[in-house]
Structure 1
């Protein structure tokens, strides 16, 4: 695997750290949960990581089988044209994402560990449909012919990076205590607003990356 591809995947993982759902739920728990905060937050984040990792493995294996079966029909140039067109569509589409003032994030009524697992699955289901950086990283690895013992740890690292901002917020909350109240309240207000603008510029960036990656092979 070349350094350029690793850098692109690393950049995509950083884009995925801006998930409004994961950060929003984390902020809500920090503001409202007083008992067993750490364990419940970890259960929630581990559920999210497990869900996204499972989806990533399924897609990677599925893409691999697809390329293996149709390898005689799909040459690199064809795949590159597909990625370039997909990137162009995402880039153009990003300017037409409808603005919605209603947040898709729901606050948990119960904060038991089982409720955290359910919340992790729910928020993952809500967000996975717009996980453009994640899908792009998987497609790039597939197109580059990355073998399983390379892409497996990359997927693990990608998902850990994705939840790092939530863990950093928790550590800051533990270290600073009440000093974090105002910043967290401000963040909660921001997350309660529309997340469509975040999806819009994520689509734009991913579209540009796809076009830049594939243009050399057209």
Structure 2
């Protein structure tokens, strides 16, 4: 198995673990005045991880069908060059965002999400619905995940390995939130101020993600393609 692919997928999964659905909302749940039970937080995290997994399978099937239709038109080398071009395009897009520095009203969006979390955190059904809503709304911003799906589709591996890697990807996405929950459960009083500071920092850095996420994803897509072409050694 391509070590460059594994490295890139792991890095993309770590990026996805810091999104609204996988980290922001879990932190807000942990900061609720009434402690969120283990079952409710696990319901939330398994729901959003399962949502990403199912969407990933559907995307891979669609991409594989398209690749099969293009068999004979595009060989693997051409496909890797196309992946390389897409990665470079993402880096250029990041530079465009940096130059433009769009001013968005992220503070109001953050407040609305925190209100929604407070309203839905009292029941298991509300928690599951919150996870699905976050997953659906993130579909338009899932650059790391789309990059991972593209890499899996263009890689020369079987479907069983693709599904295994996708499962591992979805698991890595929720690990940071699980770690925070365990720490909060063990040392609630000590970790509460730290969670508050982390929450404020996230709110301030939300806009910056529009710049660095495309850049990092683009680099990893380029790195994976270069590894497949034999240009670079795996990290």
Indicate whether the TM-score tops 0.5: yes
Shift of 1:35: 4.8
Q: Which residue of 2 aligns with 1:136?
A: 147
Q: Which residue of 1 aligns with 2:64?
A: 64
- Which TM-score applies when normalising by structure 1? 0.91
Q: Does 1:34 align with 2:34?
A: yes
Q: Relative to structure 2, which stretch is displaced further, 75-84 or 140-149? A: 75-84
- For residues 22 and 214 of structure 1, do their structure 2 counterparts lie closer, same or farther at Cα, with a shift above 3 Å needed? closer
How many matched pairs? 218
- For residues 22 and 14 of structure 1, do their structure 2 counterparts lie closer, same or farther at Cα, with a shift above 3 Å needed? closer
Q: Point out where structure 1 has 5 or more consecutive residues left out of the alignment.
A: none
Q: SS of the counterpart of 2:218? A: helix
Q: Which residue of 1 aligns with 2:95?
A: 95
Shift of 1:217: 7.2
Shift of 1:43: 0.9
Shift of 1:140: 1.2
Q: Deviations over 1:37-66 (max 9, x none)?
A: 211111111110111001100011111111
Shift of 1:87: 1.0
Preserved contact between residue 99 and residue 194 of structure 1 (Cα < 8 Å): no
Query: Partners in 2 of 1:51 and 1:147 — Cα distance?
Result: 22
- Which TM-score applies when normalising by structure 2? 0.85
1:160-199, aligned counterparts within 5 Å?
160-193=171-204, 195-199=206-210
- For residues 15 and 35 of structure 1, do their structure 2 counterparts lie closer, same or farther at Cα, with a shift above 3 Å needed? closer
Q: SS of the counterpart of 2:71? A: coil
- For residues 145 and 128 of structure 1, do their structure 2 counterparts lie closer, same or farther at Cα, with a shift above 3 Å needed? same
Q: Which residue of 2 aligns with 1:201?
A: 212
Q: Which residue of 1 aligns with 2:159?
A: 148
Preserved contact between residue 90 and residue 206 of structure 1 (Cα < 8 Å): yes
RMSD of aligned alpha carbons:
2.0
Preserved contact between residue 13 and residue 134 of structure 1 (Cα < 8 Å): yes
Preserved contact between residue 51 and residue 124 of structure 1 (Cα < 8 Å): yes
Q: Point out where structure 2 has 5 or more consecutive residues left out of the alignment.
A: none
Query: Partners in 1 of 2:157 and 2:89 — Cα distance?
Result: 26
Q: SS of the counterpart of 2:106? A: coil
Q: Does 1:79 align with 2:79?
A: yes
Shift of 1:167: 0.4
Q: SS of the counterpart of 1:71? A: coil
Query: Partners in 1 of 2:195 and 2:105 — Cα distance?
Result: 20
Q: Does 1:110 align with 2:120?
A: yes
Query: Partners in 1 of 2:35 and 2:148 — Cα distance?
Result: 38
Q: Relative to structure 2, which stretch is displaced further, 47-56 or 31-40? A: 31-40
